[in-house]
Chain A
Amino acid sequence: MTRRLVVGVDIGNSTTEASVAAVSGDSAEYLGTALTHTTGVKGTPENTDGAVSAVRRALERAGRTESEVETVLLNEATPVISGLAMETISETIITESTMIGHNPATPGGEGLGVGTTVAIDALAGASGPTIAVVGAGWDFDDVATELNAATERGLEVVAAVLAHDDAVLVVNRLRVPIPVVDEVGAVEKVPLGMRAAVEVAPPGRTIRTLSDSYGLASVFELDPDQTKQVSPVARALTGNRSAVVVRTPSGDVTDRRIPVGTLTLTGAGKTLQVDVDAGAEAIMEVLGRVQPLDDATGEAGTHVGGMLAQVRDTMTDVTGQPAAEIRIRDVLAVDTFVPKEVRGGLAGEVAPENAVALAAMVRTSRSRMQVVADEVAAALGCRAEIGGVEGEMAVRGALTTPGTAVPIAVLDLGGGSTDAALLDRDGVSSAVHVAGAGELVTKLIGSELALDDREQAEAVKRYPLAKVESFFHVRHEDGTVQFFPEPLPSHVFARVVTMTPEGPAPVATRHSVDHVRRVRREAKRKVFAVNAVRALKQVAPGGSLRMLDFVVLLGGSALDFEIPDLIADALAGFGVVCGIGNVHGSEGPRNAVATGLVDAHVAGS
């Protein structure tokens, strides 16, 4: 019997996979696989380059040549395009420079000093309890000399505020130690001649007086109405080791809600509107009332409107359909927070602001995969055809995982969307795509940790964390310690790092390993655990997860070191067997569609 070479190719949102098989009669022997980045937007002719290079690499690994290939099989991709947007919905503003709460690493002295703010070069004319304000350009020795001289003259200097990182140096040179807050970049904006308080807590402690409403009331002799007014200042300073509060006529710290536009959701014969600043829960609740979603639009002139319009435009490019005909079929809203510099701050204070992240998804029935097939055929000099629909092929590939049986559901954890497909006992299959997947996780991690670099956020998502504890050892996030025979580079010393295959890579954050880990796991849970349940409910008989027996996880994120566990946890209550796909008992969660295409081809011929 002749053996024919058949290659299955799965073009996904971010990766293109190819699987080479030698087919004789009704059996297929798998020879090699390959993975490349998808070129262009999924479902467009630009995919050809990626598909061809995936096929060539797979052939190389299999030790075969192009001339031996008889047929290339492509998936009929459901064009699913996702877009992401992030909207900050709260803002902290300090007015009249009423407080400084930036938490410098090394403040000086200890205790509380209450007095009037006076510039250091005007101490000669000051009287009563005084807080010295020291601008940039002052050397620590000169500052100490001035303060000692003033004290000698009988002036009661109770505290100081410095521009440079000099607090410890100054305090070490004072005859009478006082609390000193340093690294106040915009020290020239500190209002002078005002009553103020400076507090520095001992190492390992946080301030007690300025972070307490009645503490502030006692310090500044406030009446009940004024106390109400300053309570946000106390709240803003909670947890700090040092702080400065200046009592100005109408100084305040406010937490403002930013209106960011409304989202209009249409479906189930209803059209409902929801304010994006109402938060993720409110948006998802309204979305639940209009299921299945027919379309979503954002208020024109707002970021939400802009994002949804952009998703529509991309889809127009892909399908050639006019933008007016493109419908947004799913939205995932996630509550998050973004560290933002406080407006009106003097020392670059940062406050965690509330934000809503949105993933939106569009699908159409039209794809241009036939064009890709024709171009692949021309490039490789063989036949190329569309072998089957993605979801069905994925189920077929997943079914080759040892230990599975129909009815079987697959969850394909991709980059842009989370897809579910079901094959029931009667051989009927159904599939859904929901918005939000790996890219949204990366975005949430990046914004919550304020990482400028997308690569770093991606590394935090993909690799476990560790803390470099010396030049020769790291402590992994689970507490185990690893020794390195060669010294670790000094740019990772004492840092939180991701353990990448190339070695420890620093994460630009002041947060602890525990905090970064919590952010990472929460981002994955908020996207994948939530979407797993959302997607499976849409394919499960009667919408009940209890009716599912086997759930197989596929796609790049199924290889993640913790996402499968998070999903298994989310599904544990429903009596479902959930695990990572292992196509043909050896391929893992990759190549399910490519393999399914070949299997379907063999079964059909």
Chain B
Amino acid sequence: MTEKPAIVLRHTGSPDPVVLREVCAGAEEEGVPTRVEQVRDADVLALAHAAALESPLETGIGIDGAGGVAVHHASLPQDDPVHQVEAGSPRPDLRIAGRTAARIVKVLPL
């Protein structure tokens, strides 16, 4: 497999740039790479879970059209995400979503 280890982040096209930037920054500060993919419309849990299944690190993030964020792990049932942030949440909360995904990979308290 040539794929580099990364958290996979899936969105449905034209996500709020602030949301995308802050979520990615949260993971970057922890030192874990992210790979951003655009897919067809789906709800935020489905996006996050599919991203986790796709990720070589089994960790995924979904951002839906409204700007809601979910963090998921491939081993968990789709309707039971690790972490969720509502659309319109302040920046620090978005940063935390990215950090949470990175900490799952690093096995650190979330």
Contact = CB atoms under 8 A, between A and B. Distances in A.
B25 A490 contact: no
Contacts of B107: 469-470, 493-494
Nearest to B108: A494
B34 to A, nearest CB: 13
B110 interface: yes
Contact of B28 (A105, A169, A494): A169
Contact of B82 (A106, A169, A490): A490
> Looking at chain B, what size class is its interface with the partner chain?
10 to 19
B56 to A, nearest CB: 16
Interface stretch (B38-46, B60-68, B71-79): B71-79
A493 B76 CA distance: 13
B82 A493 contact: yes
Interface in A469-496: 469-472, 487, 490-491, 493-495
A487 B77 contact: yes
Nearest to A469: B107
Main secondary structure of the interface of B (DSSP, over half): loop
A494 B29 contact: no
A472 B110 contact: no
A471 B76 contact: yes
Nearest to A182: B29
Contacts of A472: 75
Contacts of B30: 106, 168
Contacts of A487: 75-77, 80
A294 interface: no
B28 A493 contact: no
A343 to B, nearest CB: 28
Contacts of B80: 487
B31 interface: yes
Given A487-B80, A493-B110, A494-B108, A169 B25 contact: yes
B109 interface: yes
Contacts of B73: 471
Interface in A488-539: 490-491, 493-495
A10 interface: no
A210 to B, nearest CB: 23
Interface string A147-182: 000000000000000000111110010000000000
Contacts of B35: none
A309 to B, nearest CB: 42
Contacts of B110: 490-491, 493-494
Contacts of A172: 28
Interface string A102-126: 0001100000000000000000000
B57 interface: no
B44 to A, nearest CB: 16
Given A168-B30, A169-B28, 18 more contacts: A105-B108, A165-B29, A166-B29, A168-B28, A168-B29, A168-B31, A169-B29, A172-B28, A471-B76, A487-B76, A487-B77, A487-B80, A490-B82, A493-B104, A493-B109, A493-B110, A494-B107, A494-B110
Top-9 shortest CB links A-B: A490-B82, A168-B29, A494-B109, A494-B107, A495-B109, A494-B108, A169-B29, A487-B76, A493-B110
